[in-house]
Amino acid sequence: MDLIDADGEPRASASSAAAIRESVIVADHRLDVFTEAPALFESMLGDIDQAKHHIWMETYIFAEDASGTAIAEALMRRAGDGLDVRLLYDAVGSTATPLAFFSTMREAGVRAHAYHNLWESLRKVRFFTILNRRDHRKLLVVDDTCAYFGGMNIIDHGRDRRYLNLDDQAAPMTGWRDLHIRMEGPQQRQVAESFERSWAHAKGLRLSRRPTAYRRVNLSDGAESIHFFDSGPGLKFSRAPRVYRRMLRGAQHSVVIAMAYFIPVGRVMFALTRLGNRRIRVRIIVPARPDVRVARYATLYLYKRLLRAGFAIHERTTRMMHTKLVVIDRQWTILGSANMDPRSLYTNLEFMAVIRSDKFAAMARRICRHEIRRSRQVRLRDVARYSVRTRFLAMLAWSMRWWL
């Protein structure tokens, strides 16, 4: 029996559960939900072509592949039309992309800037701190019309060779699974403001502190709401641990977590274990074969503890799941770029959305159901059969968790 269906929700068709593109209205905002990159990139290109004033993009990876080239050409074309086109990309995340690729964009009028490159780190006293802190955010702002946020980079994972021979008939391609949102509505301006602050931070300009209420993750009491949080170190940002901890502590019935890199630490781990003590039903979905192998071993180290707490763990087997999604009590949804791991929690710049909406949470649960149906459930007897080598690597990876 499917665990989410067991809660009493009606089963959805495979195509709707995949949610390649689905729209939900929340607090007078239209949210288009994408779980496949091709549909997302097609939508982005359409909005870029329709822009009239400015196009601001922020991404961890901007690859020189078919998808990246198409978006780069669109940005250069619109810069040539006189629009304010900015691109903030992470220097480490985009290491595989030739510098000439970005130079070509700059020559065409795109204001492209690399966040914390090697030269910048060498010029500053805190070399390792600067180089270690990455911009992991993924945003696109088009005029005052729409904004995109979520977990997808500008890269084509459509033919990941590790998954070509695996059966996933409900999906139109064999790439990564992820989650990204296109939003229309008045709070689009908040996403634009977040980009402007990130751009100023990357340029070394002075930033004001965020208000105390913002940093403490205070939420409104309305039946539907959308809250955005810039996550990063220092008082200029909120902190991902506060967002996750605040929401987990408020859970009353159920928590579903779909997470690409699941290595909770500190107070977030404490909040999770408290869920077991409070008999909250918790389901965790992680990729069976993540692209960062050492991260999987660090996650394995936690399995016995989490299973003994009564949590259900599912490993997504047929495709790489890059999603960062938490659904609480069929009412609250947390999504964005922040994984539940030390790097996203304490080091990187991240962007997070907390959405209160029964309709949106139901859609998010359908996505989780889609992932669970393509997963294997891990039980204590499976953990007991792990080899000595696997247990040693898990212990070693866990000891390195703060540097993963």
Same domain, 391 and 333: yes
Sheet holding 254-259, edge to edge: 225-231, 350-356, 332-336, 324-328, 254-259, 281-287, 312-316, 375-378
> 202, 236, 267: which is the final residue of a domain?
202
Residues 279 and 161 in one domain: no
Confirm whether 212 is domain-assigned.
no
pTM of the full predicted structure?
0.91
Closest of 269, 265, 225 to residue 249, by C-alpha: 269
State yes or no: pLDDT of 233 exceeds 90.
no
Tell me, yes or no, whether 244 and 178 share the same domain.
no
DSSP 3-state of 209:
coil
For 196-232, the pLDDT digits (tens) are: 999 999 998 988 888 888 778 888 888 999 999 999 8
Mean per-residue pLDDT for 374-401?
97
Residues 116, 259 share a domain = no
Instruction: Tell me what pLDDT residue 319 has.
Output: 87
Position 24 pLDDT exceeds 60: yes
Q: Is residue 339 part of a domain?
A: yes
In a domain, 208, yes or no: no
Final residue of a structural domain among 151, 175, 202? 202
Answer whether residue 299 is part of any domain: yes
Residue 210 covered by a domain: no
Backbone angles phi, psi at 55, to 5 degrees: -135, 115
In a domain, 242, yes or no: yes
67 and 119 assigned to the same domain? yes
pLDDT at 310: 96
Question: Confidence band (pLDDT; 50, 70, 90) for 316?
Answer: very high
Considering 142, 175, 202, which residue would you say is the last residue of a domain? 202
Retrieve residue 386's tokens.
């792990």
Domain that holds residue 129: 5-202
In this structure, of 56-60, 172-176, 382-386, the range with the lowest mean pLDDT score is 172-176
| 190 and 231 co-located in one domain | no
Domain membership flag for residue 213: no
Q: How many domains does the chain have?
A: 2
Residue 136 lies in a domain: yes
φ, ψ for residue 326 (rounded to 5)?
-130, 130
What's at 241, amino acid-wise?
P
Kindly report the CATH number assigned to the domain that includes residue 335. 3.30.870.10
Together in a domain, 192 and 236: no
